[in-house]
Amino acid sequence: MDDPLNATVDPLDELGGLVGETLNLFDAPVNPGSANRSPATHGGLPAQHSDSPGFGAAGPRSSPDAVAQSIDLDLLGGGPGVTSSLVTAPTGAPEVDVPLIAEDDVTLGFGYEPPSQQQPQKSFGVGPLGHVEPLSHSAAAHVSSVSAAAAAQPSPRNSYRELQPDDGPSTSAGAGPSTSAGGASTSAAASAAPPIRVWVRDPERNEAPNKLGIRTTYFTYLVRTESVLPGMRTDGTEVRRRFSEFDALHKLVKAHYRGYIIPPLPEKSFIDAKLAHEDFLRLRRADLQAFLRGIVNHPALRDAEALKLFLLQPGELHYNPAWIGLLHSIGSSPDGQESLVGALGVSVGGGGGGSAGAKAAAGFNSLVAWVRHSVGVGGGPRRELDEDEQQLRHAKELMRDLERLLQLCCESARVMCGHMEALAADMYELGRNMGMLSKWEETLRAHSGTYTEAGYSASKRAADCKQLSYATARQHTMWKSASVKTAASLVALHDYYIIMPEAVAALEERERCLDQIHELEADLAAKQAELSKSGGAAGRGLQGRQTQGDRRAYTLTNAVDKLEEQLKVCRDTYALIKGRNMEELRRLHLSREADFHAMMCHYSAVQAQLMQASADMWRTTARQFAGEPVEGSGISADGDSPRQDD
Amino acid sequence: MDPPPYESVLQDHGTNNFFAPATVSKEFEIEVTDPVKQGDGVAAYVSYKVRTKTTHPSYAAPFNEVIRRFRDFAWLHDKLVEKNKGVIVPPLPEKSAVQKYQMSTDFIDQRRRALQVFVNRVASHPVLKDSRELNTFLQANEEAWMLEIAKWQAETSAQHRPVNTAAQWLKSLQHSAQSLVSGRAEEIQEDSEYIKIRDYVNSLEGHLNEAHRQAGRLLRKEADLGSALSEFATAAEALGKQDEVGPMRSAFGCLFSRAGEVAALSKARSEALVNEFAAPLKEAARTIKSVQAAMGDRAAALTAYSQAKSDLDSKKVRLAKLRGTPGLKEDKIAETERDVNEADQRLRNAKLGYETIRDTMREELNRFQKERAAELSALLRDFALAQATYTAAQAKAWGELLADLQNVPQQAAAAEAQ
Contact assignment for A419 to B224 by CB distance below 8 Å = yes
Q: Distance (Å, rounded) from C-alpha B16 to C-alpha A304?
A: 64
Task: Give the tens place of pLDDT for each residue, B81-121.
Answer: 888 877 888 888 877 666 556 667 778 888 888 888 888 88
Greater confidence (A628 vs B47) lies with: B47
Of the pLDDT bands very low, low, confident and very high (cuts 50, 70, 90), residue B171 is low
Query: Domains in chain A: how many in total?
Result: 2
CA distance A406 to chain B (A): 7
Contacts of B197 in chain A (CB under 8 A): 454
Within the 604-623 window of chain A, which residues sit less than 8 Å (CB to CB) from chain B? 604-605, 607-612, 614-615, 617-619, 621-622
Of the pLDDT bands very low, low, confident and very high (cuts 50, 70, 90), residue A135 is very low
Within the 86-145 window of chain B, which residues sit less than 8 Å (CB to CB) from chain A? none
Residue B290 has pLDDT above 70, yes or no: yes
| Lowest-pLDDT range of A384-388, B50-54, B128-132, B150-154 | A384-388
Residue in A416, A460, A625 closest to B381 by CB: A625
Of the pLDDT bands very low, low, confident and very high (cuts 50, 70, 90), residue A188 is very low
Within the 487-506 window of chain A, which residues sit less than 8 Å (CB to CB) from chain B? none
CA distances from B221 to A419, A426, A465, A483, A645 (A): 7, 8, 22, 14, 29
The reply to whether A185 touches chain B by the CB within 8 Å rule is yes
Contacts of A426 in chain B (CB under 8 A): 214, 217-218, 221
Q: What is residue A364's predicted lDDT score, i.e. its pLDDT?
A: 38
- Whether residues A404 and A484 share a domain: the answer is yes
Q: What is residue A635's predicted lDDT score, i.e. its pLDDT?
A: 36
- Whether residues A396 and A323 share a domain: the answer is no
Within the 515-554 window of chain A, which residues sit less than 8 Å (CB to CB) from chain B? none
Greater confidence (B101 vs B287) lies with: B287
Q: Which amino acid, one-letter code, is at B67?
A: I
Sort residue A364 into left (φ over 0), alpha (ψ -120 to 50) or beta: beta
Contacts of B254 in chain A (CB under 8 A): 600
| Burial of B64 from C-beta contacts in 10 A (0-12 / 13-18 / 19+) | middle
Contacts of B367 in chain A (CB under 8 A): none
Q: What is residue A627's predicted lDDT score, i.e. its pLDDT?
A: 66
Classified by CATH at the fold level, domain B28-140 comes out as PX Domain (3.30.1520)
A441 is a domain residue = yes
The reply to whether B215 touches chain A by the CB within 8 Å rule is yes
| Burial of A284 from C-beta contacts in 10 A (0-12 / 13-18 / 19+) | buried
Q: What is residue A540's predicted lDDT score, i.e. its pLDDT?
A: 56
Sheet with A215-227: strands ordered across: A196-209, A215-227, A237-242
In DSSP terms, A27 is beta-bridged to none
Residue of A nearest to B222 (CA): A423
Q: Distance (Å, rounded) from C-alpha A146 to C-alpha A64?
A: 36
Q: What are φ and ψ of residue B342, in 5° steps?
A: -60, -45
Whether B232 contacts A416, CB under 8 Å: yes
Q: Distance (Å, rounded) from C-alpha B28 to C-alpha B9?
A: 10
Residue of B nearest to A416 (CA): B228
For B170, the 3-state DSSP assignment is helix
Of the candidates B343, B354, B351, B286, the one whose C-alpha atom is nearest the C-alpha of residue B313 is B343
Determine the residue among B265, B398, B407 to mutate to test chain A binding: the one whose Cβ has the most chain A Cβ atoms within 10 Å: B398
For A623, the 3-state DSSP assignment is helix
The reply to whether A436 touches chain B by the CB within 8 Å rule is yes
Of the pLDDT bands very low, low, confident and very high (cuts 50, 70, 90), residue B245 is low
Contacts of B388 in chain A (CB under 8 A): 614-615, 617-619, 621-622, 630, 633, 635
- Whether residues A327 and A396 share a domain: the answer is no
Residue A622 has pLDDT above 50, yes or no: yes
Q: What is residue B152's predicted lDDT score, i.e. its pLDDT?
A: 82
Query: Among A37-51, A186-200, A414-428, A441-455, which range has the highest average pLDDT?
Result: A414-428
The reply to whether B199 touches chain A by the CB within 8 Å rule is no
- Whether residues A454 and A583 share a domain: the answer is yes
The yes or no reply on domain B193-417 and CATH 3.40.50.460 is no
Of the pLDDT bands very low, low, confident and very high (cuts 50, 70, 90), residue A330 is low
Contacts of B218 in chain A (CB under 8 A): 423, 426-427, 430
- Whether residues A417 and A490 share a domain: the answer is yes
- Could you please report the per-residue DSSP string of B95-129? P-HHHHHHT-HHHHHHHHHHHHHHHHHHHHSTTGG
Contact assignment for A406 to B255 by CB distance below 8 Å = no
First to last CA, chain A: 16
Q: Residue by residue, what is the 3-state secondary structure of A232-300?
A: CCCCCEEEEEEHHHHHHHHHHHHHHCCCCCCCCCCCCCHHHHHHCCHHHHHHHHHHHHHHHHHHHHCCC
- Whether residues A289 and A437 share a domain: the answer is no
Q: Distance (Å, rounded) from C-alpha B281 to C-alpha B277?
A: 7
Q: Distance (Å, rounded) from C-alpha B248 to C-alpha A590?
A: 10
Residue of B nearest to A469 (CA): B380
Q: Which amino acid, one-letter code, is at B211?
A: A
Q: Distance (Å, rounded) from C-alpha B305 to C-alpha B188?
A: 8
| Lowest-pLDDT range of A128-137, A554-563, B158-167 | A128-137
Task: Give the tens place of pLDDT for each residue, A403-426.
Answer: 888 888 888 888 888 888 888 888
Residue B231 has pLDDT above 80, yes or no: yes
User: CA angle, corner A543, sides to A542 and A545, nearest 5?
Assistant: 70
Q: Distance (Å, rounded) from C-alpha B207 to C-alpha B214?
A: 10
Residue B155 has pLDDT above 80, yes or no: no
Half-sphere exposure of A323 (CA within 13 A, CB side): 21
Of the candidates A252, A262, A349, A230, the one whose C-alpha atom is nearest the C-alpha of residue A306 is A252
A292 is a domain residue = yes
Residue in A409, A464, A632 closest to B380 by CB: A464
The reply to whether A478 touches chain B by the CB within 8 Å rule is no
What CATH number does the domain containing A526 carry? 1.20.1270.60
Q: In this structure, what is the dihedral angle of CA atoms A208, A212, A213, A216, given to the nearest 10 degrees? A: -30
Domain ranges in chain B?
28-140, 193-417
Q: Distance (Å, rounded) from C-alpha B181 to C-alpha B313?
A: 13
CA distances from A301 to A172, A252, A266 (A): 21, 11, 18
Q: What percent of chain A has pLDDT over 70?
A: 51
Q: Distance (Å, rounded) from C-alpha B37 to C-alpha A292?
A: 70
User: Other CB atoms closer than 10 Å to residue A530's CB: what's the count?
Assistant: 17
Q: What is residue A85's predicted lDDT score, i.e. its pLDDT?
A: 31
A433 is a domain residue = yes
Q: What is residue B200's predicted lDDT score, i.e. its pLDDT?
A: 79
Residue of B nearest to A496 (CA): B239
Contact assignment for A415 to B380 by CB distance below 8 Å = no
Contact assignment for B380 to A593 by CB distance below 8 Å = no
What CATH number does the domain containing A270 carry? 3.30.1520.10
- Whether residues A312 and A416 share a domain: the answer is no
Q: What is residue A285's predicted lDDT score, i.e. its pLDDT?
A: 81
Q: In this structure, what is the dihedral angle of CA atoms A376, A378, A380, A382, given to the nearest 10 degrees? A: -20
Q: Distance (Å, rounded) from C-alpha B385 to C-alpha A633?
A: 8
Residue of B nearest to A400 (CA): B242
- Whether residues A458 and A530 share a domain: the answer is yes
Which long-range contacts (C-beta less than 8 Å, at least 24 apart) are formed by B42-50? Answer: B42/B101, B44/B101, B44/B103, B45/B69, B45/B70, B45/B71, B46/B70, B46/B103, B46/B108, B46/B111, B48/B112, B48/B115, B50/B119, B50/B137, B50/B138
Which residues have CB under 8 Å from B401's CB, separation 6+? Answer: A600, A604, A608, B254, B255, B258, B259
Domain residues for A236?
A: 196-331
Residue of A nearest to B409 (CA): A183
Q: Distance (Å, rounded) from C-alpha A54 to C-alpha A105?
A: 12
Determine the residue among B265, B276, B381 to mutate to test chain A binding: the one whose Cβ has the most chain A Cβ atoms within 10 Å: B381
- Whether residues A501 and A577 share a domain: the answer is yes
Q: In this structure, what is the dihedral angle of CA atoms A55, A61, A63, A69, given to the nearest 10 degrees? A: 120
- Whether residues A413 and A492 share a domain: the answer is yes
A503 is a domain residue = yes
The reply to whether A405 touches chain B by the CB within 8 Å rule is yes
Q: Which amino acid, one-letter code, is at A507?
A: L
A150 is a domain residue = no
Q: Distance (Å, rounded) from C-alpha B256 to C-alpha B244?
A: 17
Q: What is residue B138's predicted lDDT score, i.e. its pLDDT?
A: 86
Contacts of B391 in chain A (CB under 8 A): 611-612, 614-615, 618
Q: What percent of chain A has pLDDT over 90?
A: 0
Task: Give the tens place of pLDDT for each residue, A447-474.
Answer: 776 677 777 778 888 888 888 888 888 8
Whether A125 contacts A101, CB under 8 Å: yes
| DSSP single-letter state for residue A231 | T
Q: What is residue A294's predicted lDDT score, i.e. its pLDDT?
A: 81
User: Other CB atoms closer than 10 Å to residue A117's CB: what's the count?
Assistant: 14
Residue A381 has pLDDT above 50, yes or no: no
Mean pLDDT of chain A, nearest integer = 62
A225 is a domain residue = yes
A493 is a domain residue = yes
Residue in A423, A437, A596 closest to B221 by CB: A423
First to last CA, chain B: 72
Q: What are φ and ψ of residue A180, in 5° steps?
A: -80, -5
